Chain A
Amino acid sequence: MSLEDASLDVSEGELLAVVGENGAGKTSLMNVLYGLYQPDAGELSVGGQPVRFKSPRDAIARGIGMVHQHFMLVPTLTVAENVVLGREPTRRGLFDLERAISEVAATCARFGFQLEPRARVDTLTVGSQQKVEIVKALHRGAQVLVLDEPTAVLTPQESDELAQVMRGLVAQGRTVVLISHKLKEVLGVADRVAVMRRGRVVAEVRAAETTVGQLANLMVGEGPRHGTEARAPTSLAGLSPAASRVEAIGAALPEAAVPIPGGQVTTGMSALALMGGVPPGAATERPVPSSEGTGPTGTVALAITGGTPLEASSERAPATSAGEALLEASGLQAVGDNGRPALRGVDLTVRAGEIVGIAGVDGNGQRELAEVVTGLRALTSGSGTLLGGPLAGLTPAKARERGVGHVPEDRLRRAVVKALSVEENVALGRHTRPPFARGPWLDFAGRRERTLALLEAYDVRPPDPTLPLARLSGGNQQKVVVARELDAKPRLLVVVQPTRGLDIGAVAHVQAKLREARAHGAGVLLVSLDLEEVLALSDRVYVLFEGRVTGHFTRPDYDERELGRRMLGAGTGHA
């Protein structure tokens, strides 16, 4: 368990945000609060009375409701059934569906939710499913509502709507606890912010009296830590350019603001650029001679390239100076695992030296697109050229031969073998070639040497090549995957959700490596559900909706609102 003497209190009618890195203990604390975990020590009191929750039932009885990060809905049941599950209305012993529907409709109306109680949950959008979760808690009389990373999978519009919902609940006297790592959002909605680090609550501040930079600093702890500032400035996009905040950011991120290659940017401009999320250091990532030999501080500066708001983006050279087309596809169609069409005619191009992002709400064909390009899924229609060969009939082996690297979404299923050692995983797929093999034999010495070099270059901790991969943290496992794929010098790198579940340091590192690959002339196809990440990294963005491209944006013309609309299906044929 990852809690160590954590204390937290919330007042009635307050919106408290709990922030912290992955693994800081936010979710564990909330699970204790909700009765899913029992604390080894310490006490819990609700309304001044000490309580002990043996199961969520006890927590529910005391008016605590929880909206989990991964929705706890039964997809095959209707909205009404999901909401009343566990306290079903009955008539003569039978489940009274009609009463359930009217009860749920009443709860929805009372709190201003637009939901159809008879709709099956698996037909709803992610945003609506989340509303079902909230209604479920409110229907049980929740006075305290805990939301765990609620905006991780939402479009910007849905996030805004959720913020309104939360403020509305607080206005009605409910208490809301918001767990998040998106500092910008937190400051926009919360009254008070509690910062967790390594299982403790290390600070509590009023949202109005703090800044993203200060929060970020509190989250990662005192003293510089490699790359750890990445996430915080990423969240800066769209912040109001209040001078005081800008200064605070500069103070919080001294090492990011100071080393400006070229040095012609004034201090004031650097603050502006930081706020905008594009640090002056961004120049170093271009494929020009000055990009070589960038020190670690430069990497940090690169990593904090943020959401690229419009006012800052003009400082950046357009990235369409990319090279030859590595992937050219038109009319791609493929069928998903469920037997239904997942891609319904996708046209796209990826050129050497550019990062092309695929944005979209989960389940709109992104995964299938990545699988088609890596040879894991067959095309049902459409044609394309991939690195000099046809896209039709592609197999994973052919894709690798032509120079496709792949960082898959589910690394444990598709990228690594947990039980094998780090060095064995590094050799996987290349184990028949030097330096991993000599003739018919594995070359242990060569493999060790190469692995040690990669562990060093990718800052994998601990840098022990003999350790079973399962013993590394998720972030370090992902670094091993990225190291292996990039070490093969791919011409086209397909990455899916490369930073999901990683802590801030690892996120920065992985993103920096993707930029480095681009700088070396590789094309990168980036699929991510994290819109901020897509916008931060990509030179061009395709928006996928229901298997079609509904938007195509080229840096610097990124408009989050418009992107969000496209992600929900507005506008077709724009590409």
Chain B
Amino acid sequence: MLEVLHALLFSTLDAVPALVFAALGAVLSERAGVVFVGLEGMMRVGAFCAAVAALVMPMSLAVGVGMLAGAALAAVHGFLSIRWRSDQVVSGIALNLVALAGGTFLLESLYGPNGTPALPQAARWDVPGLASVPVLGALSGHSAPTYLALVLPFALQALLTRTPLGLRLRAVGDKPHAVATLGLSVAGLRWGAVLGGGLLAGLGGAVLSTCVLGRFEQHTPAGLGFIALAAMVFGRWTPVGAFLAALFFAFGDALRIGLASSAPGLLEVVPQGMLQALPYVLTLALLTLQGQRSSAPAALGVPYEQESR
């Protein structure tokens, strides 16, 4: 039993970083009041660029390329939603579609429909003395992103709650006019949050292709960006909350894979598709349970205009 738990935790921690980074990116942007529906597209762009880059350069640099790619797509979102005050949801959906189609086009023209060649494996680190401890040992033996994913949520939480910048970001998401009357730049703060969110989304995508999957596939990230949005909502727009929600979703996914592989007979009773739908059904159920008691930033999705109060 302990071994099963160990294995589940291990694969959860192995798979979770992409989800965590993406969810944190969404939290950062949305706390400042900009809807981040384009997350899936930013992850896809980040995953693709990182995978292509990883074929020709060291993996850490390739991940950086993926982050920049995510930020580039976020910049488009920034122009549309901050500069031109367009509908942020529509802008995000458009970005997702562009990334989907563009990614497929580039992938097929460069490598054919089966995805990029397999990438070199990321280095795994053992935590000294931890590997042999039952259950807790699941913390050992992961690649770098996992460890970053265990730290970054708390860092971002501290940024939002304990620094002047965080106070301003939260204020601009709740009441931008108050921020403007204090002589602070609403657009500047939101631009920072959106670009930061794009970097994190790109990081999530890059980690997904380079470390988790080991390649870029045609459907990457296959809805993970939307799960990350769900984690953000379920975590009530807080970094640590989103992190816990992401862990929960990743655990559910690990459970599914574990069930399918350890009990092949199960697949004869329950169709594979239904098992695969499990995390999403879980997401829906949880969001329903959470109900109306939303804690979304008050000015989320509302373009800032000086004249209107």
Provide the B144-186 mask, 1 if CB < 8 A to any CB of A, else 0: 0000000000000010001110111011001101111111100
A36, A59, A70 — most chain B CB neighbours (10 Å)? A36
User: How far is it, in angstroms, between the C-alpha of A250 and the C-alpha of B154 when the chains are bound?
Assistant: 71
Provide the B267-309 mask, 1 if CB < 8 A to any CB of A, else 0: 0000000000000000000000000110000100000001001
User: How far is it, in angstroms, between the C-alpha of A309 and the C-alpha of B307 when the chains are bound?
Assistant: 39
Are the CB atoms of A86 and B183 closer together than 8 Å?
yes
Selected from A56, A70, A88, the residue in CB contact (under 8 A) with B183 is A56
Are the CB atoms of B183 and A93 closer together than 8 Å?
no
Query: Shortest Cβ distance from B271 into chain A, in angstroms?
Result: 39
Instruction: For chain A, residues 452 to 505, give those with C-beta under 8 angstroms from any C-beta of chain B.
Output: none
User: How far is it, in angstroms, between the C-alpha of A339 and the C-alpha of B293 when the chains are bound?
Assistant: 8
User: How far is it, in angstroms, between the C-alpha of A81 and the C-alpha of B163 when the chains are bound?
Assistant: 11
- Which residues of chain B are within 8 angstroms of A77 by Cβ–Cβ distance? 167, 170-171, 174
Instruction: Check A56/B171 contact, CB under 8 A, given A70-B309, A94-B162.
Output: no
Interface residues on B, range: 20 to 34
- Which residues of chain B are within 8 angstroms of A56 by Cβ–Cβ distance? 180-183
Taking chain A's interface residues, is the majority helix, strand, or loop, or is none over half, making it mixed?
loop
Query: Shortest Cβ distance from B190 into chain A, in angstroms?
Result: 15
Are the CB atoms of B178 and A74 closer together than 8 Å?
yes
A315 contacts B by Cβ under 8 Å: no
Are the CB atoms of B163 and A72 closer together than 8 Å?
no
Instruction: Check A85/B179 contact, CB under 8 A, given A95-B162, A95-B164.
Output: yes
Instruction: For chain A, residues 275 to 301, give those with C-beta under 8 angstroms from any C-beta of chain B.
Output: none
Query: Shortest Cβ distance from B293 into chain A, in angstroms?
Result: 7
A55 contacts B by Cβ under 8 Å: yes
Selected from A36, A73, A85, the residue in CB contact (under 8 A) with B168 is A85
Query: Shortest Cβ distance from B109 into chain A, in angstroms?
Result: 46
User: How far is it, in angstroms, between the C-alpha of A393 and the C-alpha of B192 when the chains are bound?
Assistant: 50
Provide the B63-83 mask, 1 if CB < 8 A to any CB of A, else 0: 000000000000000000000
- Which residues of chain A are within 8 angstroms of B181 by Cβ–Cβ distance? 34, 36, 56, 66, 68, 72
Instruction: Check A86/B174 contact, CB under 8 A, given A94-B163, A95-B162.
Output: no
User: How far is it, in angstroms, between the C-alpha of A412 and the C-alpha of B216 when the chains are bound?
Assistant: 50
User: How far is it, in angstroms, between the C-alpha of A94 and the C-alpha of B164 when the chains are bound?
Assistant: 7
User: How far is it, in angstroms, between the C-alpha of A66 and the C-alpha of B306 when the chains are bound?
Assistant: 16
Instruction: For chain A, residues 69 to 92, give those with C-beta under 8 angstroms from any C-beta of chain B.
Output: 70, 72-77, 81-82, 85-86, 88, 90
Are the CB atoms of A85 and B182 closer together than 8 Å?
yes
Are the CB atoms of A36 and B306 closer together than 8 Å?
yes
- Which residues of chain B are within 8 angstroms of A66 by Cβ–Cβ distance? 181
B166, B178, B179 — most chain A CB neighbours (10 Å)? B178
- Which residues of chain B are within 8 angstroms of A35 by Cβ–Cβ distance? 183
- Which residues of chain A are within 8 angstroms of B166 by Cβ–Cβ distance? 95
Instruction: Check A74/B182 contact, CB under 8 A, given A81-B167, A85-B167, A339-B293.
Output: no
Are the CB atoms of B183 and A57 closer together than 8 Å?
yes
A58 contacts B by Cβ under 8 Å: yes
A60 contacts B by Cβ under 8 Å: yes
Query: Shortest Cβ distance from A15 into chain B, in angstroms?
Result: 22
- Which residues of chain A are within 8 angstroms of B168 by Cβ–Cβ distance? 85-86
Query: Shortest Cβ distance from B163 into chain A, in angstroms?
Result: 5
User: How far is it, in angstroms, between the C-alpha of A58 and the C-alpha of B306 when the chains are bound?
Assistant: 17
Instruction: For chain B, residues 199 to 247, give those with C-beta under 8 angstroms from any C-beta of chain A.
Output: none
- Which residues of chain B are within 8 angstroms of A58 by Cβ–Cβ distance? 183
Instruction: Check A74/B163 contact, CB under 8 A, given A56-B180, A60-B183.
Output: no
- Which residues of chain A are within 8 angstroms of B306 by Cβ–Cβ distance? 36
Selected from A55, A75, A94, A339, the residue in CB contact (under 8 A) with B175 is A75
Are the CB atoms of B175 and A88 closer together than 8 Å?
no
Are the CB atoms of A88 and B164 closer together than 8 Å?
yes
- Which residues of chain B are within 8 angstroms of A70 by Cβ–Cβ distance? 177, 309
Are the CB atoms of B167 and A95 closer together than 8 Å?
yes
User: How far is it, in angstroms, between the C-alpha of A382 and the C-alpha of B184 when the chains are bound?
Assistant: 49
Are the CB atoms of B164 and A90 closer together than 8 Å?
yes
- Which residues of chain B are within 8 angstroms of A55 by Cβ–Cβ distance? 183
- Which residues of chain A are within 8 angstroms of B309 by Cβ–Cβ distance? 68, 70
B166, B180, B181 — most chain A CB neighbours (10 Å)? B181
Are the CB atoms of B292 and A73 closer together than 8 Å?
no
Q: Which residue of A lies closest to B306 (CB)?
A: A36
Q: Which residue of B lies closest to A71 (CB)?
A: B178
Are the CB atoms of B177 and A75 closer together than 8 Å?
no
- Which residues of chain A are within 8 angstroms of B158 by Cβ–Cβ distance? 94
User: How far is it, in angstroms, between the C-alpha of A223 and the C-alpha of B309 when the chains are bound?
Assistant: 35
Are the CB atoms of A74 and B180 closer together than 8 Å?
no
Are the CB atoms of B182 and A93 closer together than 8 Å?
no
Query: Shortest Cβ distance from A79 into chain B, in angstroms?
Result: 13
- Which residues of chain A are within 8 angstroms of B292 by Cβ–Cβ distance? 339
- Which residues of chain A are within 8 angstroms of B298 by Cβ–Cβ distance? 75-76
- Which residues of chain B are within 8 angstroms of A86 by Cβ–Cβ distance? 168, 179, 182-184
- Which residues of chain B are within 8 angstroms of A73 by Cβ–Cβ distance? 175, 178
User: How far is it, in angstroms, between the C-alpha of A224 and the C-alpha of B179 when the chains are bound?
Assistant: 44
User: How far is it, in angstroms, between the C-alpha of A90 and the C-alpha of B175 when the chains are bound?
Assistant: 23
Q: Which residue of A lies closest to B185 (CB)?
A: A55
Instruction: For chain B, residues 98 to 112, give those with C-beta under 8 angstroms from any C-beta of chain A.
Output: none
User: How far is it, in angstroms, between the C-alpha of A35 and the C-alpha of B178 when the chains are bound?
Assistant: 14
Residue pairs across A and B with Cβ atoms less than 8 A apart, 14 shown, are A36-B306, A56-B181, A59-B183, A60-B182, A66-B181, A70-B177, A72-B175, A72-B177, A74-B174, A85-B178, A95-B162, A95-B163, A95-B166, A339-B292
Which A residues fall within an 8 A CB radius of B?
34-36, 55-60, 66, 68, 70, 72-77, 81-82, 85-86, 88, 90, 93-95, 339
Closest 8 CB pairs of A and B: A57-B183, A86-B182, A88-B164, A72-B178, A56-B183, A74-B175, A74-B171, A72-B181
Which B residues fall within an 8 A CB radius of A?
158, 162-164, 166-168, 170-171, 174-175, 177-184, 292-293, 298, 306, 309
> 5 additional contacts, CB 8 Å, given A36-B306, A72-B181?
A72-B175, A73-B175, A74-B171, A77-B171, A85-B168
